């Protein structure tokens, strides 16, 4: 237990999830990239967030992110509205189309994951979900890692 190769476990898991994610990013005839799907996801999750907030959450340079947003606006998936209180800030939100695409991807991902979970019994399922929640919580609270104030 002590000499468990933790990195290996995480590396494999995240790679598998990443590959899944990669193949789940087209919906309604619109082909979006993996990065773009992450952005949609995060804009939806943090509603009324600014460009900088989302960029930080995703660990992306803000100049890169600014251009990514421009692309998504051109695709009519995202809108940018100036903050009423501070006009330097742009608030991001999804268009109806963006919401739809995000939901479709959500659906596909959850379908797949549920398929995986079907192979487990109730006890295992519950244990896995609780473990993931616990990990997320502890990683969020940890200060060991990086400088990025990822939310």
Partner DNA sequence: TAAAAAAGTTGTAGTTTGCAAGTATTGTCG
Partner DNA sequence: CGACAATACTTGCAAACTACAACTTTTTTA
Interacting residue ranges for a copy of itself, rule: CB under 8 A = 1, 4-20, 22-23, 38, 41, 45, 58-59, 106, 109-110, 112-117, 119-120, 122, 124-136, 138-142, 144-148, 150
Helix-helix angle 34-45:6-22, to 10 degrees: 100
Question: In this complex, which beta carbon is closest to DNA, that of residue 70 or of residue 107?
Answer: 70
Question: In this complex, which beta carbon is closest to DNA, that of residue 46 or of residue 71?
Answer: 71
With a CB cutoff of 8 Å and minimum separation 6, the contacts of 104 are: 27, 28
Interaction between residue 24 and DNA (CB under 7 A): no
Instruction: Give the residue among 83, 90, 87 at the shortest CA–CA distance from 62.
Output: 90
Least separation, in Å, of the C-beta of 103 and DNA? 21
Cα–Cα distances (Å) from 67 to 26, 30, 55, 72, in that order, read 20, 19, 11, 9
Residues that bind DNA (CB under 7 A): 33, 35-36, 50-53, 60-64, 66-71, 80, 85-90
């Amino acid at each position: 237990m002590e000499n468990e190769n933790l990195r290996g476990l995480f590396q494999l898991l995240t790679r598998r999830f990443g590959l899944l994610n990669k193949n789940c990013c087209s919906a309604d005839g619109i082909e979006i990239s993996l990065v773009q799907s992450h952005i949609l996801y995060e804009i939806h999750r943090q509603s009324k967030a600014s460009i900088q907030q989302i960029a930080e959450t995703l660990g992306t340079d803000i100049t890169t992110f600014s251009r990514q947003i421009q692309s998504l606006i051109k695709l009519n998936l995202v809108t940018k509205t100036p903050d009423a209180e501070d006009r330097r800030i742009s608030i991001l939100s999804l268009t109806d189309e963006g919401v739809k695409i995000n939901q479709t991807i959500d659906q596909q991902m959850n379908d797949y994951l549920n398929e995986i979970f079907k192979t487990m019994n109730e006890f295992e399922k519950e244990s896995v979900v609780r473990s993931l929640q616990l990990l997320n919580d502890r990683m969020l609270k940890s200060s060991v890692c990086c400088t990025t104030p990822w939310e």
